Structure 1
Amino acid sequence: MGILEKISEIEKEIQRTQKNKATEYHLGLLKAKLARYRAQLLEGSKTSGPKGEGFDVMKSGDARVALVGFPSVGKSTLLSTLTSTTSECASYEFTTLTCIPGVIEHNGASIQLLDLPGIIEGAAAGKGRGRQVISVARTADIVVMMLDALKGDIQKELLTKELEAVGIRLNKKRPNIYFKEKKGGGISITATCILTKISERMINLILHEYKIFNADVVFRDDCGTEEFIDVVVGKRKYMPCLYVYNKIDQISIEEVDRIAWQPHCVVISCNMLLNLEHLKEMIWRYLHLITVYTKKPGKKPDFNDGLILRSNCTVEHACHAIHRTLVQNFKYAQVWGHSAKYNGQHVGLSHKLSHEDVLLVTKK
């Protein structure tokens, strides 16, 4: 029996098994086996066959956004509308066959937007060009999941399932679990909180399934079976995701209102150019980007060419962005803006900057 058949059999058994106290350990072991086989499937796909044409896109700009979705939901239209890149658009499915990059200019930042070919159900198992599409999505900073407003909830569920199958976790925090294999001493389990979602027996069963008999495990949060399996397997990618519902001009205003109030959701219409500026602003927020302006002594700040940095960045990060030798010759900096207690505050390299701060660096 091949890996795909084994995965299929385990998934069917999980669906057949009722969830209760008696089946808790059985389901936990099935989930551990499923994660192990999926990891083997992905590792095998790295060495088998040539890369897909057009998928190896060089990373550029200040951040990268992966545009994923089923065929004919409007991804190519969105790319052509938000960027100066033209992606082939048509009313039939699978118009886009390769990865097409474009650039969104917003708040002085250049954000690379990748229009990926439509994902089909079963993409994680290798159907269509699913694995190639998903592997490119893993290189992005955020995922924009494009959905048809007429059938968005079904598409959202199926796409999330496909991405979960290859280790992409959308809008989830990394489990606060310390795990490290060791050469001897058995399995040591410590918890700094009361564990209600997983037992010590389950932890041991999962580790034995992966042939791990010596390890240190520390739970700092009350995490469940699937979260612990993710930590043991590793290679999980935790990514922010925006669910973008297109074609809202074809549904009722009540349905638009219902979708718009859901977490991480944006409603748009590419054909009628509705709410696209709000989408760009939401992408900016989810990327956690800020703009920091610089000034020279005795001159006004340069508001035309700011530094694009990540939120919670420090003066040291800004210095590296200006010039690689600036930190070595750093004396002090002055800051104007939200992060400063008063205008022109003298700060050091560890000072955290805020959006639209003005920075003046003095060298030794």
Structure 2
Amino acid sequence: MGILEKISEIEKEIARTQKNKATEYHLGLLKAKLAKYRAQLLEPSKSSSSKGEGFDVMKSGDARVALIGFPSVGKSTFLSLMTSTASEAASYEFTTLTCIPGVIEYKGANIQLLDLPGIIEGAAQGKGRGRQVIAVARTADVVIMMLDATKGEVQRSLLEKELESVGIRLNKHKPNIYFKPKKGGGISFNSTVTLTQCSEKLVQLILHEYKIFNAEVLFREDCSPDEFIDVIVGNRVYMPCLYVYNKIDQISMEEVDRLARKPDSVVISCGMKLNLDYLLEMLWEYLALTCIYTKKRGQRPDFTDAIILRKGASVEHVCHRIHRSLASQFKYALVWMHSIRNLPSTQLREQQQEDGVEDMTQLEDLQETTVLANLKTRFERNLIYTYIGSILVSVNPYQMFGIYGPEQVQQYSGRALADNPPHLFAIANLAFAKMLDAKQNQCIIIR
């Protein structure tokens, strides 16, 4: 019996086995065997001397997005609309036979978009070049699952099943399970939470199926047997996925509303160019990218050339992107960002940039000219800052400026100086110059 036949038999056995307390060990063993056979199926054949033709392309840009879907759902049309790359689109299936890359330029970032050939049911077993398509998808940062809105539910379940069978976990996080094989000592099992899906006996049975008899296992969350198997296998890929329902012009408004309310879902029409801007915003959010701008001493920040990093990147990552030798000589940075109350914040090299908004980083000392330039820039970008490091910028909130509405005036009326935090809106250079000419209502900069 071949691997495909074994997989089919196990899937049938799982389907006809009732799920209850008495069968949980049997089901756990079946799932462990199924995962093992699927891993063997994905391994390249040792008897084949020649390598199969692939269509992977070099990874470029700040992030990679893979377009996955059945044939003729609008992937090539979407690529042509969002990038300058022309991908052949037609009404017949399998128009695209290889991987076609394009680049989306958005918020200063270059996002590589891959138009992959349409996959069919059974792609995980190699049908329709499915293995090559899925192999490229594993290298992406985000998957866009393009679905035909007229049959989206069927396509979505089939594609999720295919990707699940090859170890791609969509919109899931890695299970918080500590697992370490040992040379001896048996199996050490512990948990910090109450387990409702896995027991110590089931964990031991699954480990024995993988010929593991000595290991440390620590559950830090309540996980299922499938999630524990994923930890043992170790080659799973966890990535965000956007479910994009195309051709909404062919369905009713009620159906569009129902699809749009689904989690991780966006409804569009490539033919009528509907909702593409919102899709780009959602894609940016799922990629979790942040723009970081640098500035030289005494100069304005350069908002034309952003450093694109992942959310959670540290100042050290910024240094490495500027120059590889900068990090070794680096001591601290001055950082402006929304999540910091006192600006600029002096941050060490390992401190993370966890804010998702655009930041401005200065790597040198602060000067008065840079403060004024920063105020003007913040005003133009509708950003509010109150306190900048050792420099306090204060403005009379009651006169001269229409940007202070009744709510702000009421908040400060009759209050002592220390009752409320300073409320500053950055001021353009022209307004600042007029204030200097006046004898009152001036902006005061105190070092």
| TM-score clears 0.5 | yes
The more displaced of 350-359 and 23-32 is 350-359
Contact between 1:339 and 1:357, CA under 8 Å: does it hold in 2?
no
Could you say which residue in structure 2 is the equivalent of 1:174?
174
SS of 1:238's equivalent in the other structure is: strand
Separation in 2 of the partners of 1:341 and 1:302?
23
Separation in 2 of the partners of 1:45 and 1:266?
40
Could you say which residue in structure 1 is the equivalent of 2:358?
356
Separation in 2 of the partners of 1:297 and 1:216?
53
Could you say which residue in structure 2 is the equivalent of 1:129?
129
**1:152 is the counterpart of 2:142:** no
Could you say which residue in structure 2 is the equivalent of 1:298?
298
Letter in 2 for 1:208: H
SS of 2:297's equivalent in the other structure is: coil
Could you say which residue in structure 1 is the equivalent of 2:400?
none
1:248-287 superposed matches below 5 A: 248-287=248-287
Q: State the Cα distance separating 1:310 from its structure 2 match.
A: 0.6
Could you say which residue in structure 2 is the equivalent of 1:52?
53
Contact between 1:88 and 1:96, CA under 8 Å: does it hold in 2?
yes
Contact between 1:330 and 1:362, CA under 8 Å: does it hold in 2?
no
Contact between 1:85 and 1:102, CA under 8 Å: does it hold in 2?
yes
**1:119 is the counterpart of 2:119:** yes
SS of 2:221's equivalent in the other structure is: coil
Separation in 2 of the partners of 1:73 and 1:250?
13
SS of 1:111's equivalent in the other structure is: strand
Contact between 2:296 and 2:364, CA under 8 Å: does it hold in 1?
no
Q: State the Cα distance separating 1:17 from its structure 2 match.
A: 1.4
Contact between 2:169 and 2:236, CA under 8 Å: does it hold in 1?
yes
Q: State the Cα distance separating 1:47 from its structure 2 match.
A: 8.1
Question: Under a length normalisation based on structure 1, what TM-score does the superposition of the two structures give?
Answer: 0.96
Separation in 1 of the partners of 2:254 and 2:25?
44
Could you say which residue in structure 2 is the equivalent of 1:193?
193
Separation in 2 of the partners of 1:328 and 1:31?
49
Could you say which residue in structure 2 is the equivalent of 1:86?
86
Identify if the C-alpha distance between structure 1 residues 322 and 109 changes in structure 2 by more than 3 Å, giving closer, same or farther. Answer: same
Q: State the Cα distance separating 1:339 from its structure 2 match.
A: 3.7
> Bigger radius of gyration, 1 or 2?
2
Identify if the C-alpha distance between structure 1 residues 347 and 25 changes in structure 2 by more than 3 Å, giving closer, same or farther. Answer: closer
Gapped runs of 5+ residues in structure 2? 366-447
The more displaced of 248-257 and 322-331 is 322-331
Give runs of ≥4 in structure 1 deviating > 2 Å: 44-53, 339-348, 350-355
SS of 2:328's equivalent in the other structure is: coil
Could you say which residue in structure 2 is the equivalent of 1:104?
104
SS of 1:65's equivalent in the other structure is: strand
Could you list the per-position Cα deviations for residues 88-128 of structure 1 after superposition, in whole angstroms to 9, with x for gaps in the alignment?
A: 10000000000000000000000000000001000001111
Separation in 2 of the partners of 1:328 and 1:193?
42
Identify if the C-alpha distance between structure 1 residues 216 and 346 changes in structure 2 by more than 3 Å, giving closer, same or farther. Answer: closer
Contact between 2:187 and 2:217, CA under 8 Å: does it hold in 1?
yes
Q: State the Cα distance separating 1:334 from its structure 2 match.
A: 1.4
Separation in 1 of the partners of 2:363 and 2:47?
48
Q: State the Cα distance separating 1:214 from its structure 2 match.
A: 0.8
Q: State the Cα distance separating 1:208 from its structure 2 match.
A: 0.9
Could you say which residue in structure 2 is the equivalent of 1:74?
74
1:29-44 superposed matches below 5 A: 29-44=29-44
Could you list the per-position Cα deviations for residues 30-58 of structure 1 after superposition, in whole angstroms to 9, with x for gaps in the alignment?
A: 111000000111113598553335x1200
Could you list the per-position Cα deviations for residues 164-219 of structure 1 after superposition, in whole angstroms to 9, with x for gaps in the alignment?
A: 00000000111111111111111110111111111111111111111111111111
Q: Which has the higher contact order (CA 8 A, sep 6+)?
A: 1
Contact between 1:247 and 1:269, CA under 8 Å: does it hold in 2?
yes
Separation in 1 of the partners of 2:101 and 2:180?
39
Could you list the per-position Cα deviations for residues 327-363 of structure 1 after superposition, in whole angstroms to 9, with x for gaps in the alignment?
A: 1222332122314333333332233333211111139
Contact between 1:102 and 1:112, CA under 8 Å: does it hold in 2?
yes
Gapped runs of 5+ residues in structure 1? none
Identify if the C-alpha distance between structure 1 residues 46 and 74 changes in structure 2 by more than 3 Å, giving closer, same or farther. Answer: farther
Separation in 1 of the partners of 2:260 and 2:45?
38
**1:23 is the counterpart of 2:18:** no
Could you list the per-position Cα deviations for residues 279-316 of structure 1 after superposition, in whole angstroms to 9, with x for gaps in the alignment?
A: 11111110100001111111111111111111111211
The more displaced of 91-100 and 38-47 is 38-47
Contact between 2:170 and 2:239, CA under 8 Å: does it hold in 1?
yes
Contact between 1:331 and 1:362, CA under 8 Å: does it hold in 2?
no
Letter in 1 for 2:207: L
Could you say which residue in structure 1 is the equivalent of 2:372?
none
Contact between 2:70 and 2:147, CA under 8 Å: does it hold in 1?
yes
Could you list the per-position Cα deviations for residues 246-275 of structure 1 after superposition, in whole angstroms to 9, with x for gaps in the alignment?
A: 001111111111111111001000000001
Could you say which residue in structure 2 is the equivalent of 1:243?
243
Separation in 2 of the partners of 1:153 and 1:35?
25
Question: Under a length normalisation based on structure 2, what TM-score does the superposition of the two structures give?
Answer: 0.79
Separation in 1 of the partners of 2:43 and 2:309?
34
Identify if the C-alpha distance between structure 1 residues 16 and 345 changes in structure 2 by more than 3 Å, giving closer, same or farther. Answer: closer
1:282-361 superposed matches below 5 A: 282-353=282-353, 354=355, 355-361=357-363
Aligned length in residues: 362
